Copies of this chain bind each other. A is one copy, B any other.
Amino acid sequence: MGNKEIRIRCWVELDGKKFFGPGPARLLDLIDNEGSIAKAAKCMGMSYKKAWDIVTDLNTRGKEPYVISRKGGEKGGGAELTAAGKLVMVKYRNLTQKLRSLVSEEEELLAHM
């Protein structure tokens, strides 16, 4: 019957509007690795403006900022995750991992597809 797969998507809404999910999580992860919003955007094939808009949305709609960015300086600026940003990443990864492991235990659903 070819390849069968249970897929899952998990995100957070604030007041009914998407706030955090796989896209922002990937962006924060890349900012953490690259130390720069511009480089993170490039890795995702996303415009700098789009990445900035996502970061601004996260930083302003949530309880506290997840990203700090610095302009200029010796290294030409850069960005990093705040403690809150790092914590959210850990919690989100933890949740998605648990969901994935539950799904992998329930693959008998696929026997009927």
Chain A residues near B (Cβ < 8 Å): 1-16, 19-20, 62-63, 84, 87-88, 91-92, 94-95, 98-99, 102-103, 106, 108-110, 112-113
Bound complex: CA A63 to CA B2 (Å) = 11
30 contacts across the A-B interface (CB closer than 8 A): A1-B14, A1-B63, A2-B15, A3-B13, A3-B15, A4-B13, A4-B14, A5-B12, A6-B11, A6-B12, A7-B12, A7-B13, A8-B8, A9-B9, A12-B109, A12-B110, A14-B113, A62-B112, A63-B112, A63-B113, A84-B112, A88-B109, A91-B106, A92-B109, A95-B103, A95-B106, A98-B102, A98-B106, A99-B103, A102-B102
- Least CB distance, A68 to chain B, in whole angstroms: 16
